Amino acid sequence: MAAENGHLAMLKWARDEGFPWDVRTCSAAARNGHNAILQWARENECPWDHLTCHALASNGNLTMLQWAREKGCYMDGNDFIGAAANGHLAVLQWARENGYPWGKNMGVMAARNGHLEILQWLTSEGCPWDKRDGLNAASSHGQSAIHSWILRKHGTSAIYGRNWNWQMNDENSELLSE
């Protein structure tokens, strides 16, 4: 709780008193943007894992993500899904420049959350994603600009997917003609 809520003094006290910590300490600090706590925890040999990097990427904290990589924290392509979901293009670009593979469903998560720029970039860079799932995600979350873009970019073949019948109604049927 101390790491999660940004209480470095309390975390130091707990460690001095012998209270245990684990990988959740680092991931909680990363998830909540407590960079100083994360750095202190690592300087004091607190364990970490890829969830720390996932949290940093999801928050768009590129500086700390670079620091974590330099310090040897393991990460893979799936740790960058949150960056796509939350619209952090610079993090995604850095990940690709550093050889990380595409994470599963990056395009779908960008579509779901309305990040057209991210979806366009992922597509232009060759990121594989299921167009039907992306269309369904955009439709069910009210992302009409993305819905229209997917149809324009990929044609009507993208609409033949599960749940499409209940998503089409008078309100959004005009999107097919755009």
CATH of the domain at 120: 1.25.40
- Domain of 146 in residue numbering reads as 105-178
**CA–CA dist 176, 59 (Å, integer):** 34
What confidence tens digit (pLDDT) does each residue in 85-108 have? 999 999 999 999 999 999 989 999
What confidence tens digit (pLDDT) does each residue in 2-21 have? 899 999 999 999 999 999 99
Instruction: Tell whether 2 and 69 lie within a shared domain.
Output: yes
pLDDT at 178 (0 to 100): 45
Instruction: Tell whether 70 and 119 lie within a shared domain.
Output: no
pLDDT-derived band of residue 44, with 50, 70 and 90 as boundaries? very high
Contacts 24+ apart (CB under 8 A), 18-26: 21/46, 21/47, 22/46, 22/47, 23/47, 23/48, 23/49, 23/51, 23/52, 26/52
Instruction: Tell whether 64 and 130 lie within a shared domain.
Output: no
CATH of the domain at 27: 1.25.40.20
In a domain, 83, yes or no: no
Least confident window among 8-17, 135-144, 162-171? 162-171
Give the count of domains, the chain. 2
What confidence tens digit (pLDDT) does each residue in 49-66 have? 999 999 999 999 999 999
In a domain, 156, yes or no: yes
What confidence tens digit (pLDDT) does each residue in 67-85 have? 999 999 999 999 999 999 9
Instruction: Tell whether 110 and 71 lie within a shared domain.
Output: no
Structure letter (DSSP) for residue 161:
S
Instruction: Tell whether 113 and 174 lie within a shared domain.
Output: yes
Which residues have CB under 8 Å from 173's CB, separation 6+? none
In a domain, 26, yes or no: yes
Q: Tell me the whole-structure pTM to 2 decimals.
A: 0.85
Instruction: Tell whether 64 and 121 lie within a shared domain.
Output: no
